[in-house]
Amino acid sequence: MNERKETLNKRYNIDQILTKGADAKLEAVIDKKNKKVISESSPKLNSDDLKIFQEAKGALRKNSKNIKDQEHPKTSIKSHINKSRER
Amino acid sequence: MKLQFEEQTALIAKQIAKQVERFLETKLQERKLNRQKFAQDSGIPASTINGFMNEESRVPTLKTLYKIAQYFDCTIDNILGRSDNNDADRMSYNDISFEDVNNNIRDFIKVRLTEHNLEQSELGPLIGRSRDVIRHFMNGNQKTLGIELIVALADYFGYKYNE
């Protein structure tokens, strides 16, 4: 509750949301996730930007999953049984 | 949990009402305006203005805050006492339609949902609202959002000044 009592004292910028929408933060997100997605500043969020952003995010997630799989390959039950039999 | 959200929302509403009352009192005094004249010039009904400045502590709608910001050419953060910074580079509410204001909120929500991997129906409960409130606003069935909800959104996503 105490935390919430300070809500209006914090400098959350309502005006940026109301006058610029997603612009400022969209740039930050895209730059942080993948600088190659949109290298120039994004003047206005449109559906194309959002599509690029979503695709890039999906690709990044897929890549990180592949890396994880390489580091910790999943052993199928079948191969596990076969290995046990070999032993 | 629900009660906690309700308490929080009520607290935000109370703070907003108090700040708006304080802002209007100061501004009307500064400009030597009476409520009647302000009502006439701003297009805000006198009964609404009285509601802000009397014991009622009424919470303004976003549309009313927009009109107040237009009239005094200031920011809504300024009215809500969230920022003293009346940035010269800021966009004036006189240059932006109320429809665009709402479209900007939609853009903001759209990106935040993508960023946080959230569905529209998931966001409402996270800020103490129903599952439908964001969906109705996003698909245009609901034209605008209440200022308490916008404050809760800014709060939830940690949208800070000059971030």
Give the pLDDT score at B57: 76
CATH architecture of B2-86: Orthogonal Bundle (1.10)
Residues of chain B contacting A25 with CB distance shorter than 8 Å? 108, 111-112, 115, 159, 163
Residues 6+ apart with CB under 8 A from B116: B157
Percent of chain B residues topping a pLDDT of 90: 57
For residue A83, give how far its alpha carbon lies from the nearest alpha carbon of chain B (Å): 39
Inter-chain Cβ pairs, chain A and chain B, closer than 8 A: 116
The whole-angstrom separation of Cα B63 and Cα A86 is 74
DSSP conformational letter for B160: B
Q: Kindly identify which residue of chain B lies nearest to residue A5, measuring between CA atoms.
A: B11
Where are chain B's structural domains? 2-86, 98-156
Q: Which of A4, A12, A18 sits opposite B105 (nearest CB)?
A: A18
Cβ within 8 Å of residue B120, ≥6 positions away: B109, B113, B134, B135, B138
CA distance A34 to A56: 7
Among A1, A2, A14, pick the best mutation site for testing chain B contact (most B Cβ within 10 A).
A14
Neighboring chain B residues of A57 at a CB cutoff of 8 Å: 114
d(CA B149, CA B129): 8
**Chain A closest CA to B37's CA: distance in Å?**
27
Determine the Cα–Cα distance for residues A72 and A80; give it in Å rounded to an integer: 15
Residues B101 and B81: their CA atoms lie apart, in Å, by 20
Chain A positions touching B119 (Cβ under 8 A) are none
Whole-angstrom distance, CA of residue A30 vs CA of residue A24: 10
- Quick check: A87 pLDDT over 80? no
What is the average pLDDT value for chain A, to the nearest integer? 58
Counting the structural domains of chain A, the total is 1
Domain that holds residue A36: 2-86
Which residue in the set A7, A19, A23 is minimally distant from B96, CB to CB?
Answer: A19
Q: What confidence tens digit (pLDDT) does each residue in B112-132 have?
A: 898 889 999 999 999 888 899
Predicted TM-score (pTM) above 0.90: no
> Does the distance separating the beta carbons of B154 and A8 come in below 8 Å?
no
pLDDT in tens, B44-93: 999 999 999 887 778 999 999 999 999 999 999 889 987 755 555 677 89
Q: In chain B, which residues have their Cβ closer than 8 Å to the Cβ of A45?
A: 107, 110-111
- Sign of torsion, CA A52 A55 A60 A61? positive
Of A1, A8, A16, the CB nearest to B159: A16
Q: Which of residues 12-71 of A touch B (CB under 8 A)?
A: 12-26, 29, 45, 50, 53-54, 57
pLDDT tens, A42-68? 444 455 666 666 666 566 555 555 655
* pLDDT on residue A62: 59
Interface contact flag, A8 B15, Cβ < 8 Å: yes
B88 alpha carbon, distance to own chain's centre: 21
Q: Do A13 and B160 touch (CB under 8 A)?
A: yes
